Structure 1
Amino acid sequence: MTLITAGALVAAQSTTAVAASGAHPAPMANPYNPQTGHTYRHGVIPTRTETTEMRAWAKTHSAATTGPETLSYGGGIDGIGVLSGHAKVYLVFYGTQWGTKTTASNGDAAFSKDPDKAAGAAQQMFKGIGTNGEKWSADLTQWCDGPNVKAGATSCPSNAAFIPYQTGGVLSGVWYDNSKAEPTNATGHQLGVEAVAAAAHFGNKTAAANRDAYYIILSPHGTDPDGYQNPSTGYCAWHDYNGDTTLTGGPVSSPYGDIAFSNQPYNMDLGASCGVGFINSPGTLDGYTMTLGHEWHEMMSDKNPAGGWTNNTGSSYNGEENSDECAWLNPGTAGGAANIKFGSFGTFAEQASWSNDTNSCAISHAILH
């Protein structure tokens, strides 16, 4: 006779009951996903090596109950599911390690310790979204929130609050916070504190002012925010909101309502692992603009994670957001990454995002709203 603990017995009985009822058991976490054990890393972008390992593991651990990549609505957190207005994107250059700030001829902020000229690319990209009739961002117009959208829905009713096409760019402000150096290994909590400070800096001091706001915390060259360079659990970027209780260091208090933010490392420091040369040659900023676009797409469709649109199918994609499902698809393949022209603001490497209504990774999509 084999003795088992009471806890193991309960687990065994629970598994038997699930099997008997036909219900779907909770999916096993992919051990190669950098969000495993770090649940606050919403929309985390694995390195290319980790992506390969994740997909190999997933092939033998899939149990989808619907289409494996279908996203469903999480019901909202604090009444927020998506960013259903015109986005206000704020770029926060965090820490004195960015060096001396100057102003480029096009009005962009430039920094003496930005060897790859990431600052200018970020500013031009967000100025360019919604210009030149670009359709890369238009897949967002299928997502929605509001009281008429039921939790678990996989499409939106006509009376929902839809994300509108982001005509005319989304960049609303740039701040160089050189009041102190960024910690070498900033925690999720510290990054969230910086986002709340940015809200105050830009005068967004009410929940209403922050309903459509998004703060990108851009770390300087040579730093390692939230251990993104860890060879075992590293990643390229993630997004979250201040109220997430799983943030390293704990949630961040905000007197200004919920604050959506992202952790954008200077991920060129990881080279090809975070996308250098993924589309172009030398393509130094390919991965940087792809990860900026990835997290922006996910924030738009899942502003307070995971109250928006995420994968709840029980498949190998379970828990992922729209851009996660299409990360690191090779250029020239179906749904693969591509260069996107944003009018006079330039051409940028971007990736596709999952689209329920076309059942595909959409690098281009019709404008619906």
Structure 2
Amino acid sequence: MRLPSLRTALRSAAVLAVAALGATALAPAATARPAPAGQSLSVSAHFGVKPLRAGGAPAATRAATGSTLTVRSSRSTGVVSPNPRVYLVFWGSQWSSDPAGVAADLQSMFRGLYGAQDTWGTILTQYCEGVPKGTSTCGSSGVHVTHPAAAPLAGVWFDNAAAAPSKATASQLAGEAAAAAAHFGNTTQTPNLNAQYVVVSPTGTHPDGFPNTGFCAWHDKTSSSYGTLAYTNLPYIPDLGAGACTTLTDGRLLSGIESTETHEYAETVTDFWPSIGWNGSGGEIGDECENMDAYVPLSTGTFDLQGLWSNSAGACVTQG
């Protein structure tokens, strides 16, 4: 996370930097999804913003170094996600067109983020909740993030009954996260203490002003009658072309969305209801390391996983 004033400055600078990108083609107009029956939604400021620079790559705001993360609350829930569960929500009938193959790629990536072959996910297990505010080393204290023994992908929903808005607002994105919680049967707070809803918008759409609002993606929380929900706004990054939102330059079209979603996934796991989780002077676990990308082999293929800050290593790393 960034403090609001710094985040605002970064976004303002990024807006100017990406002006040359222009807007991608607009999808057909759509009626916004209302909140599910009985829902009232409350949307906070956004966190974990991965900013853009000219050409679509991550903003060069720092080298692949960071600073020690500390926990910002002694709470025993909402600080981290001890048992991560990812729900991919492919929003809108426009997913009948997926020119870059995003849907299959994200499912494959999350199906490989577990077990012995996933050494990237083990970075997260040093972080915990239920320890004093200001803690930087959990040791054996608190409830730690566990490394999944099975794929963290808990569900996939193609919500294609209607078109997604061409320019979804933050409130509409939060409403889609609540709709997903209902769809998957997560209608109390307990399952939503580990669930993160990744709202993936279709090609040609501009959720929260993407890309001219200067971000690759962001994560946030929203309150609902199902409890507080963690969710991510993940635009169709391949619309920006190869090299967008990644530091890798080999022209692979899917690298940017993989890098961005692993950034948001890790930040949601370690700062579940921002910003009471783990933060440093450079931001959340992914903000610290935006200039480090690497191809990492998993059991389901090789993917562009962004580097994460490790307190134990004192550096940005791509394996624990």
Normalising by the smaller structure, the TM-score range is 0.7 to 0.9
**CA RMSD across the alignment:** 2.6
1:235 aligns with 2:215: yes
* 1:141 maps to amino acid: T
Distance 1:51 1:285, change over 3 A: closer
1:191 is matched with 173
Q: Report the 3-state secondary structure (helix = DSSP H, G, I; strand = E; otherwise coil) of the residue aligned with 1:165.
A: coil
1:29 and 2:6 matched: yes
Distance apart, 1:40 and its partner CA:
2.4
**1:46 and 2:72 aligned:** no
Q: 1:70 to 1:114 in 2, by over 3 A?
A: same
Give, in whole Å, the separation in 1 of the partners of 2:309 and 2:124: 10
Aligned match of 2:270? 301
Q: Spell out the pairing of 1:54-73 with structure 2 (5 A cutoff).
A: 54-55=61-62, 69-73=67-71
TM-score of the aligned structures, taking structure 2 as reference length: 0.83
Report the Cα distance in structure 2 between the residues aligned to 1:349 and 1:226, rounded to whole angstroms.
Answer: 25
In the alignment, does 2:289 pair up with 1:326?
yes
Aligned-partner residue type, residue 172 of structure 2: Q
- What residue is the counterpart of 2:98 in the other structure? 114
Could you say if the C-alpha distance between residues 127 and 240 of structure 1 is closer, same or farther in structure 2, counting changes exceeding 3 Å?
same
Separation in structure 1 between the aligned mates of residue 219 and residue 72 of structure 2, nearest angstrom? 17
8 Å Cα contact 1:45-1:324 kept in structure 2:
yes
- CA offset digits 1:258-315 (Å, max 9, x no partner): 1111000001112256236x4363311001111111100000000000010012x4xx
User: What code does the residue aligned with 1:294 have?
Assistant: H
Rounded to whole Å, the distance in 1 between the matches of 2:50 and 2:5 is 19
Distance in 2 of aligned mates of 1:213 and 1:259: 8
> CA–CA distance in 2 between the matches of 1:88 and 1:127?
11
- The aligned runs of 1:172-191 (5 Å cut-off) are 172-191=154-173
Structure 2: distance between partners of 1:208 and 1:351: 30
Kindly indicate which of the two structures has a greater share of residues assigned to strand: 2
Q: Secondary structure at the match of 2:202?
A: coil
Asked if the contact 1:90/1:174 (under 8 Å) is kept, the reply is yes
Q: How does 1:332-343 map to 2 (within 5 A)?
A: 337-343=293-299
Q: CA deviation at 1:362?
A: 1.2
CA shift in 2, pair 1:180/1:135, >3 Å: same
Aligned equivalents of 1:27, 1:265: Cα separation in 2: 22
- Counterpart code for 2:263: H
SS of residue in 2 equivalent to 1:328: coil
Does the Cα contact within 8 Å between 1:241 and 1:258 map onto a contact in 2? yes
Aligned residue for 1:361?
Answer: 316
Task: Give the secondary structure class of the aligned counterpart of 2:137.
Answer: coil
Cα pair distance change 1:226/1:342, threshold 3 Å = same
Aligned equivalents of 2:287, 2:160: Cα separation in 1: 32
User: What are the superposed Cα offsets for residues 9-43 of structure 1, whole Å, 9 maximum, x if unpaired?
Assistant: xxxxxxxxxxxxxxxxx996266512899972311
Measured after TM superposition, the shift of residue 53 of structure 1 is 5.9
Question: Using a 3 Å threshold, how does the CA distance of structure 1 residues 307 and 76 change in structure 2: closer, same or farther?
Answer: farther
Q: Which amino acid aligns with 1:117?
A: G
* Uncovered stretches (5+) of structure 1, i.e. residues with no partner: 1-25, 57-66, 100-112, 244-253, 330-336
Change in Cα spacing, 1:76 to 1:96, as seen in structure 2 (3 Å) is farther
Deviation at 1:341, TM superposition (A): 1.2
What is the aligned partner in structure 2 of residue 350 from structure 1? 305
Contact in 1 for aligned 2:77/2:193 (Cα 8 Å): no
Closer, same or farther in 2 for the Cα pair 1:341/1:132, shift >3 Å? farther
> Shift in Å at residue 157 of structure 1?
4.5
| Structure 2 alignment gaps of length 5 or more | 16-42
How far, CA to CA, are the matches of 1:304 and 1:32 in structure 2?
23
Partner residue in 1 for 2:90: 93
Pick which of 87-96 and 46-55 moved more. 46-55
Higher deviation after alignment, 35-44 or 73-82: 35-44
| Structure 2 CA distance for aligned equivalents of residues 328 and 124 of structure 1 | 24
1:197-208 mapped onto 2 (5 Å cutoff): 197-208=179-190
TM-score after normalising by structure 1: 0.72
Contact 1:132 1:341 in 2 (8 A): no
Instruction: Name segments (4+ residues, structure 1) moved above 2 Å.
Output: 26-32, 34-41, 48-56, 76-79, 271-276, 278-282
Match of 2:132, as an amino acid? Answer: K
Distance 1:157 1:267, change over 3 A: same
- Please give the secondary structure, in 1, of the residue aligned with 2:220: strand
Give the length in aligned residue pairs. 287
Q: 1:77 to 1:262 in 2, by over 3 A?
A: farther
1:258 aligned counterpart, secondary structure:
strand
